Amino acid sequence: PAAILLDCDTGIDDALALIYLCSQPHVELVAVTSTPGNVAAEQVARNNLALLELCGRADTPVAIGARSPLRVPLVTTPETHGPQGIGYAELPAARRTHHARDAVELWVEAARARPGELTALLTAPLTNFALALRAEPRLPELLRRTVIMGGSYYYQGNTTPTAEWNTHVDPHAAAEVFAAFAGQPEERLPIVCALETTERIELHPRHVAALAEAAGCAEPELVLPDQPEGLRSRASNPLVRHMSDMLRFYFEFHRRYDQGYAAHIHDYFAASVAADSAWYETRAATVHVETQAPRLLGTTVADYRGLWGEPATARIVSGNRPDEAFAELVLSVGALARR
Ligand code: BDR
Ligand code: CA
């Protein structure tokens, strides 16, 4: 079993990651904490609470930590994920509110209580995790392992020409996190899922149709590109309906800003790595996150060859298998929706 602590900024692909983790019988979701990013922290928590209830996991602790990045003002991205972070989906409000406990304290306590057992999954700017590392510098040893979605290493950015969103929103937190892992043995270094591999996980309408079918709920028009923008799904299955309404928005965003009617589901890939369900390979590197040059804020550079003469701080995913990732998502989430 994989015991996972998730910190996210839900976010359509964060939502997919969360739903996927709930669909995995061998995954124990220890807590879901919220970092501001795609939307403000309170909205992230509302989304997480509603999604957990939708997936039958209303007992999972949900907490909020930082309300803004360490040193720069918060920017959010309603154009990517919708004003509430979940595209066109209108999730019923959860019946409970988030935990009174601060997310950073919750992380530190959970890691101390179960040394060597917990996997940290970070699909947001690294603000809360950086604060947790300040509070407990032994976190790299206390965790079983750490999986991060963030950065872009031999590739372009998706937020500025060179920077990826999560490292751009809180570059100082990202820099602190990688520095905190210097000197750890390779097997403890964070596994980093960056744009060069997460953008290969490109979801198409046919995958959503397959998912609906796996859930026993065919609804052909639900995500097709030739429909008017803003169309809502009429699927009777609530999980399929909400996922379709999120993904339609994400497809439309990618069509406007990117290469076509398809969506990069970065955070789902990181979740499948954390759940031990994905094939991937990694290369160790020393990571630099730029925090000074205005045009390069949040840009990540990896030294794979030890040219800086510094210890490695990350294992960057260098290969993955998109087809397997989609098959896994469709089967697993389809089964959850049928339940
Ligand atoms: C990352 O940015 C966010 O918008 C997504 O949720 C993902 O975590 C990809 O760059
Ligand atoms: Ca995210």
pLDDT digits (tens, 9 = 90+) for 242-263: 999 999 999 999 988 877 899 9
Is residue 80 lining ligand 1, measured as CB closer than 6 Å? yes
- 3 state SS of 34: strand
Using the CB atoms, write b or e for 108-138: b if 16+ within 10 Å.
Answer: bebbeeeeebbbbbbbbbbbbbbbbbeebee
Choosing from 39, 47, 128, 165 the residue with most ligand 1 atoms within 8 A of its CB, the one to mutate for a pocket test is 165
Q: What is the mean pLDDT of residues 143-149?
A: 98
Single-letter code of the amino acid located at 261: Y
Interval between CA 138 and ligand 2 midpoint (Å): 25
pLDDT tens for each residue of 76-134: 999 999 999 999 999 999 988 888 789 999 999 999 999 999 999 999 999 999 999 99
Interval between CA 239 and ligand 1 midpoint (Å): 22
Identify whether the C-beta of residue 62 lies closer than 8 Å to the C-beta of residue 95. Answer: no
Is residue 197 lining ligand 1, measured as CB closer than 6 Å? no
pLDDT tens for each residue of 279-291: 999 999 999 999 9
Q: What is the rounded CA–CA span in Å between residue 150 and residue 287?
A: 11
Pair of tokens at residue 331: 């089967």
Q: What is the rounded CA–CA span in Å between residue 150 and residue 101?
A: 26
The DSSP letter of residue 6 is E
Q: What is the rounded CA–CA span in Å between residue 51 and residue 85?
A: 12
pTM of the model: 0.97
Q: What is the rounded CA–CA span in Å between residue 179 and residue 304?
A: 16
Known catalytic residues?
266
Query: Which ligand 1 atom is the nearest neighbour of the CA of 198?
Result: 9
Interval between CA 6 and ligand 2 midpoint (Å): 11
The closest of 169, 19, 12, 33 to 79, measured between CA atoms, is 12
Q: Is the pLDDT of residue 230 over 90?
A: no
More confident residue, 98 or 6: 6
Is residue 158 lining ligand 1, measured as CB closer than 6 Å? yes
Interval between CA 113 and ligand 1 midpoint (Å): 30
Is residue 251 lining ligand 1, measured as CB closer than 6 Å? no
Query: Which ligand 1 atom is the nearest neighbour of the CA of 13?
Result: 6
The number of helices, as runs of H, and strands, as runs of E, in the chain is 13, 11
Q: Tell me the CB-side half-sphere exposure of residue 312, using CA atoms within 13 A.
A: 18
Is residue 199 lining ligand 1, measured as CB closer than 6 Å? no
